[in-house]
Chain A
Amino acid sequence: MDCKSIQEKLSVYIEDIISSEEKAVIDEHLRSCQKCSGCLADLMKTLDYVKNIEEVEPPQWITTNVMAKVKAEADTGKGIFERLFYPLHIKLPIEAVAVVLIALTTIYIFNTIQPEIRLQDRTELAKAPSEEVINERLISQGDKKRGKDLMTSSPLLKEKELKPSPTFAQSDREKVLLYEKDKEESVPEEASETKAAESLKKAEAEGQAPGAKRDEVKKFSGAAERYESRREALSAFETKAKGDMKKEIINLTLSVRDVETASEKVEEVLIQFGGKAINKDNYENKNILNAELYLEKIDKLIEKLKMLGEVKQEEKSFESHRGSIKIRISIEKI
């Protein structure tokens, strides 16, 4: 074994991890070779230096810094964890509850709004074909302002029945005047078209008697009388109509479990159907709602009421009526 290979082995030789044969060979060589034993000494010294090198102490902030970074890392790891598992375990019930709540709210809102939309459509339809309704409303509003008895007065009837009267009166007067003129000029046939003229004619025919002057007066007075009687008849009819309206109150009895809630709902329904002058009287276990409603809405109102509870209705026919009618709904506890 030459020096070079011996020196190569020295590194393992000093660590004692060498076979005993090799060790013996090296020992043998070292005794005889100064150079190689010098190498060994140098190696030992080198290792001495290296092994005796002092350890350095870690600064305290290393742990702090490392743990801060690790915690940040752990938090981001948690983020992934949350993303993966929260939707499955923890957040799901919350989401489900939220979805159910939204659904319920939507249904509730839809149910509340739905009839109003229908109502709107209906009123629009009603407005379109006839302006009567609007007129009626305007008149009734006007009536309200004037403080008239709304309960008994029908705006439609008023419009239809009251309006002709001044016209009638006016035309009558004209005709009377005309007749007077006619009488003077002796042309009675000209006014034969109108009722007034006819009646006057009849009066003329009836009272075709001795004096023309008297006749004239009589005829004139007859016409006046007729006119008066017409007005009387008209006002009588009006009062009669008013009286009829007073009598025609639809009495409905609604039997429900919860009076308060039911009356609120009935009130809502009345408003939806365009009920006017709604007033409410509260009694023990009984609420009475008074309102005015268009006749054509009554059936629908009763249908709605049937959904709320048991409805008892007085047997009456309202077909002869037009326009709005007074309605009294008694809400009673079952």
Chain B
Amino acid sequence: MKEKEKTLSDEDTEHVTLCKRGNIDAFEMLVKKHQKRILNIAYRMLGNYEEACEITQDAFVSAYKGIRNFQEKSMFSTWLYSIVVNLSRNRLKQLKIKRYREEFSLDDPVFTDDGQIKVEHTSEESSILEKLEKKEIQQKVQGCIDSLDYEHKEIIVLRDIQGFSYDEMSDMLKVSEGTVKSRLFRARDALKNCLKKVMGNL
């Protein structure tokens, strides 16, 4: 995985240099190459496809704006993914504030979290997913990811879904590797408990 990243980044470096010279086509190549991963990070972070698409676009636009300031100390992909993680995190904070304002469940937040997850998903995707067990599991997993703290959420998404190395994650999240490890443990533990609760048995 790590080696694969390395070769990808080498291709990126070429495109990034072209982009810095104002070559828009080179940027389009980068968009096409990274959009899927960016969208998936955003989607797993936000749990909403439309929101994820919005965040993906925003991430690319801010990447284009900032590409001249991008120093090749880290890989372009790492830099790009850190943008999407930050944007998703900010969006989550916004949504959380929104939820607090909309809901009246300040005294029972745990229940609200779970309840909300279910409501969101039944309203959006249940008609398609309900009949398929696999899809149902996926939905439940996503529901559990959604229920996590954003710090835990991002670390699960980056490590267990996207498979980034501890090194890359500490780069993206601007935290030490030790923090990444301990955060990952707590995130996995929380996720495990959630899945146990949702599925009854693992």
> Does A33 interact with chain B (Cβ within 8 Å)?
no
A50 close to B196 (CB less than 8 A): no
B36 close to A69 (CB less than 8 A): no
Q: Is the interface of A mostly helix, strand, loop or mixed?
A: helix
> Does B32 interact with chain A (Cβ within 8 Å)?
yes
B35 close to A69 (CB less than 8 A): no
A58-B36 in contact given A53-B44, A66-B60 (Cβ < 8 Å)? yes
> Does B18 interact with chain A (Cβ within 8 Å)?
no
A50 close to B40 (CB less than 8 A): no
A50 close to B141 (CB less than 8 A): yes
> Does A47 interact with chain B (Cβ within 8 Å)?
yes
Measured as residues with beta carbon below 8 angstroms from the partner, the interface class of chain B is 35 or more
> Does B57 interact with chain A (Cβ within 8 Å)?
yes
Query: Which residues of A have CB within 8 Å of B141?
Result: 49-50, 53
- State A224–B148 Cα separation when bound (angstroms): 143
B35 close to A58 (CB less than 8 A): yes
Chain A positions 103 through 147: 1 when the CB is less than 8 Å from some CB of chain B, otherwise 0: 000000000000000000000000000000000000000000000
- State A65–B60 Cα separation when bound (angstroms): 10
Query: Which residues of B have CB within 8 Å of A50?
Result: 141, 145, 156, 160-161, 191
A46 close to B202 (CB less than 8 A): yes
> Does B85 interact with chain A (Cβ within 8 Å)?
no
Q: How far is the CB of A109 from chain B (nearest CB, A)?
A: 46
A56 close to B43 (CB less than 8 A): yes
- State A11–B185 Cα separation when bound (angstroms): 5
B64 close to A46 (CB less than 8 A): no
Query: Which residues of B have CB within 8 Å of A49?
Result: 137, 141, 195
B49 close to A56 (CB less than 8 A): yes
A54-B64 in contact given A42-B196, A45-B202 (Cβ < 8 Å)? no
- State A53–B163 Cα separation when bound (angstroms): 13
Chain A positions 29 through 59: 1 when the CB is less than 8 Å from some CB of chain B, otherwise 0: 0000000000001110111011101111111
Measured as residues with beta carbon below 8 angstroms from the partner, the interface class of chain A is 20 to 34
A43-B138 in contact given A50-B160, A53-B44, A58-B36 (Cβ < 8 Å)? no
With CB as the reference atom, state the residue of chain B lying closest to A17: B166
Say which residue of A43, A53, A54, A58 sits within 8 Å of B188 (CB atoms). A43
Binds B, one of A70-78, A267-275, A278-286, A287-295: A70-78
Say which residue of A8, A17, A65 sits within 8 Å of B57 (CB atoms). A65
A58 close to B202 (CB less than 8 A): no
> Does A62 interact with chain B (Cβ within 8 Å)?
yes
List 20 A-B residue pairs with CB atoms under 8 Å apart, sorted by A's residue number: A10-B185, A11-B188, A12-B181, A43-B188, A43-B192, A45-B202, A46-B202, A49-B137, A50-B156, A51-B160, A56-B43, A56-B49, A62-B56, A63-B32, A63-B35, A65-B57, A66-B57, A66-B61, A70-B60, A70-B64
- What 8 pairs across the A-B complex have the smallest Cβ distances? A11-B185, A46-B192, A66-B60, A45-B202, A58-B39, A50-B160, A58-B35, A70-B64
A10-B185, A46-B202, A50-B141 known, 16 other contacts, Cβ within 8 Å = A12-B181, A43-B192, A46-B195, A47-B188, A49-B195, A50-B145, A50-B160, A53-B141, A56-B52, A58-B35, A59-B53, A63-B28, A63-B35, A67-B27, A70-B60, A73-B64
